[in-house]
Structure 1
Amino acid sequence: MGIRPSVGRTGVCWDDAMVESLFGALKNELVHRTVFPSREHARRTIVRYIEIFYNRKRLHSGLGYKTPAEV
């Protein structure tokens, strides 16, 4: 599937920076602002946020203010 494991040493965060950015945005923009009535509702809402908003609509400064889908 083309997935490579982390190869960084302890305390070196460069290989995790992109996923940490995603998790930070997810928490700040969605999770901490939403009350989920069930675990399943939370799962569906988070998947929708990532697949529709984060990857296709949200502009990312690290990508030259483009979406991941555009890059």
Structure 2
Amino acid sequence: MPPKRVQQLLKPGTLAHVNVIVVAMVVVVVWVVVVVVVVVVVVVVVVVVVVVVVVVLVVVVVLIVVVVVT
């Protein structure tokens, strides 16, 4: 059996127990923030790539039309 002091510290509602809960919550929040940031970065990169591809395609089509028409 652990000493009485340790049992008291780990009882629900005591400071150590609250600290464990706070640390766990902070870890979860940090993980959520990291995941959200990664998802946002990936979405931004995909959107930029799509926009660049669309612009290049439009320019190529316009050039082809100009060359064919003239």
| Higher normalized contact order (CA 8 Å, seq sep 6+, divided by chain length) | 1
Same fold (TM over 0.5): no
**If the length of structure 2 is used for normalisation, what is the TM-score?**
0.30
Structure with higher helix content: 2
